[in-house]
Amino acid sequence: MLNSCEYFNVKKVSSETILKEELQTFNWKDVDEYPTFSVCDSTSTKQEKKSCFEQTLTNFITSYLQKDAIIVTQDIHDTINLNFKVTRTGTLILLDTKIDSLTNNEIPKIKQLLTESLDSLPKIFPALKRGQQVTTEFTLPIIINVN
């Protein structure tokens, strides 16, 4: 009597296959911890850390812009959208700026000022996903009011 049994056949699964399956189940748009500055260490929740990061970044840019004497011929009330990324090493890179043409005409060096303000930031700790440092992209609105 001969019998065949599939019970003893073992399928080998490579670690690459497991990794590919695992990576497909991630929600890569969401991180476990947002990028942060050392001043945000006292915050406890994920949302508080995100708010602290954005507020610290906004305050830094605003204070940098206020140091420069900007003279305009027309009142400017504009929102500039900064698109940037924080790399997994904590480097902040400005990807794009959406600036209204009136603002650009009145303050021709606005993009240079924004870039300089980002270059003078304190150390940024990158975002974490499953304990690994990851690169993240953000859009940050900056409100410009010049009279």
Instruction: Quote the domain boundaries for residue 68.
Output: 33-146
pLDDT on residue 107: 82
Q: What is the pLDDT of residues 94-141, one digit of tens each?
A: 888 888 888 888 888 888 888 888 888 889 999 888 788 888 888 888
In a domain, 106, yes or no: yes
In a domain, 9, yes or no: no
pLDDT on residue 89: 92
Q: What is the pLDDT of residues 2-26, one digit of tens each?
A: 555 555 555 555 666 765 665 555 4
In a domain, 62, yes or no: yes
pLDDT on residue 120: 82
Which H helix or E strand runs over 62? Answer: helix 46-67
In a domain, 118, yes or no: yes
- DSSP string of 99-139? --HHHHHH-TTHHHHHHHHHHT----BPEEETTEEE-EEEE
Task: Please give the Cα distance from 131 to 142 (Å, whole number).
Answer: 31
In a domain, 109, yes or no: yes
In a domain, 131, yes or no: yes
Instruction: Provide the whole-model pTM.
Output: 0.71
3-state secondary structure of 84: strand
Q: Which amino acid is residue 145, in one-letter code?
A: N
In which residue are the tokens 């953000």 written? 138
Q: Residue 142: how many CB atoms within 10 A of its CB?
A: 19
pLDDT on residue 115: 86
- Number of domains comprising the chain: 1
Helices 110-119 and 46-67 sit at what angle, rounded to 10 degrees?
A: 130
In a domain, 16, yes or no: no
